[in-house]
Amino acid sequence: MKNNLLPGLLCSALVFGLGACQKPAGDQQAVAPVASKAVEEKVLYIFNWSDYIDPEVVTDFTKETGIKVVYDTFDSSETLESHLLAGNSGYDIVVPGAPFLGRQIKVGVFRPLDKSQLKNWGNLDTETLKLLATYDPGNQYAIPYMWGTTGIGYDVDKVQARLGKNVALDSYEILFKPENLAKLKDCGISFLDAPGEVMAAALNYLGKSPASLVEADYEAAEKLLTGVRPYVTNFNNMQANELATGDVCVALGWSGDIAQAAARATEAKNGIHLQYAIPREGTEVWIDTLAIPTDAPHPGNATRFIDYIMRPEVAAKITNFVAYPSGNAAALKWVLPEITSNPAIYPGPALRARLYTVPVMPDNIDRIITRSWTRMKTGH
């Protein structure tokens, strides 16, 4: 065999996953392009939030591309972050919220998107991209996936039976006033286990900036939460089931998860009527994103998946399943009318005017938040 055939043979063997591409000395130029394109195994490792996709989207992608998907889930931004910071997570696609994306970009854990391969980019919502660019300048590393709000999920009958018919169900007073919580404790109270988001909600409720840089403001927020803590049944980011089954009757939670809970309860015909309110005091609107870790083993497959998700019908299929709006403007016409017309999922202008976003916080503030969250939860 002639020596100059060898590089091609060695590298094409990789298509079948047989091993590392060895570049013979002196012939590196000839093999490099082949090595970077053709070597990916037909597999893709995704790490997403739980209850955050229509499983059919994943199986349809595999049917169309032959790329097998290994799909894992996580339940907190902190879990995702620890995987990313440890390195070699093995994941090709991850789903950080925008503030986490912003701070993780700074430490180099993501690879820039290959926009030349993202032909569906034009379907993305320009306003959402603009907002996302405040975390990811130039939209280099991530696309908007879904967005939503943080608010109050409640069992209408149980809450009204305990707080009276005249109580404002769209006020954070339900969740932050100990006298209300004392009356609700027997039917179960769930709070998100999301330190940054809950602290921001507490700050905002206290009339402070949800993105405050003042240490004393965090002391006040911690004090508020410490007063609430004895009434909280659990801190949890998977609230759809516990609300749907009646294990808890009120939650500080995420819009789509609460909509999913309401749908599950209706389907189960268990007599539980759940609603979601965007608090009148204002609350957070957040964006979650799709990004590719720097050390992703299959960045080409990841790019294909991201482009697939950006097809309007696909993005809409996810929204129809998870009840979170997508960052894809072209998807809107494929979204079910009962979802687009639900103001708890797609808030109208008056509600939107009450929403705030949380930026990437400086490290010292992040540390304050983490410490005070731990103190509040553990009691020391």
Q: Is residue 235 at the binding interface for ligand N2P, with CB under 6 A as the rule?
A: no
- CA 7, CA 1: separation in Å to the nearest integer? 12
Nearer to ligand N2P, 45 or 321 (CB): 321
Q: Per CB under 6 A, does 325 bind ligand N2P?
A: no
Stretch that binds ligand N2P, among 50-58, 129-137, 153-161, 293-301 (CB under 6 A): 50-58
Residue 40 sits in the site that holds ligand N2P (CB under 6 A): no
Over the window 94 to 133, marking each residue x when it contacts ligand N2P by CB under 6 A and - when it does not, the resulting string is ---x------------------------------------
Complex with ligand N2P: residue 11 or 58, whichever CB lies closer: 58
Residue type present at position 256:
G
Stretches 10-18, 47-55, 155-163, 340-348: which one binds ligand N2P (CB under 6 A)? 47-55
Task: Report the candidate in 277, 328, 335, 340 with the shortest Cα–Cα distance to residue 149.
Answer: 277
Does position 135 interact with ligand N2P (CB under 6 A)? The reply is no
Binding flags for ligand N2P, 269-308, as an x/- string (CB under 6 A): -----------------x-x--------------------
Among 45, 47, 51, 302, binds ligand N2P (CB under 6 A): 51
Does 52 contact ligand N2P by CB under 6 A? yes
Residue 50 within binding range of ligand N2P, rule CB under 6 A:
yes
- Output the CA–CA distances (angstroms, integers) from residue 36 to 31, 77, 310, in the order listed: 9, 32, 24
Task: Give the CA-trace dihedral at 134, 137, 143, 147, to 10 degrees.
Answer: 0
Query: Count residues contacting ligand N2P (CB under 6 A)?
Result: 9
Question: Exposed e or buried b for every residue in 279-309, given b needs 16+ CB within 10 A?
Answer: bebbbbbbbbbbbbbeebbbbbbbbbbbbbb
Tell whether residue 327 is a contact of ligand N2P (CB under 6 A): no
Using the contact rule CB under 6 A, the part of the chain among 45-53, 261-269, 336-344, 365-373 near ligand N2P is: 45-53
Handedness of CA 161, 164, 170, 172 (dihedral sign): negative
The Cα 360–Cα 100 span in angstroms is: 7
For CA atoms 219, 220, 225, 226, the dihedral sign is positive
Buried b or exposed e, range 115-135, using 16+ CB within 10 angstroms? eeebebbebbbeebbebbeeb
Selected range binding ligand N2P among 44-52, 131-139, 160-168, 363-371, rule: CB under 6 A:
44-52
Query: Does 47 help bind ligand N2P (rule: CB under 6 A)?
Result: no
CB-wise, 89 or 239, nearer to ligand N2P? 239
Helices (H), the chain: 6-13, 28-38, 55-65, 77-86, 98-106, 126-132, 156-163, 173-176, 178-184, 195-205, 215-228, 240-244, 255-268, 299-309, 312-322, 337-340, 349-352, 363-378
Instruction: Work out how close the CB of 29 gets to ligand N2P at its nearest, in angstroms, rounded to a whole number.
Output: 46
Q: Determine which residue in the list 100, 254, 276, 373 makes contact with ligand N2P, applying CB under 6 A.
A: 254
Least Å from the CB of residue 82 to ligand N2P: 17
Catalog residues that contact ligand N2P under the rule CB under 6 A. Answer: 49-52, 97, 254, 257, 286, 288
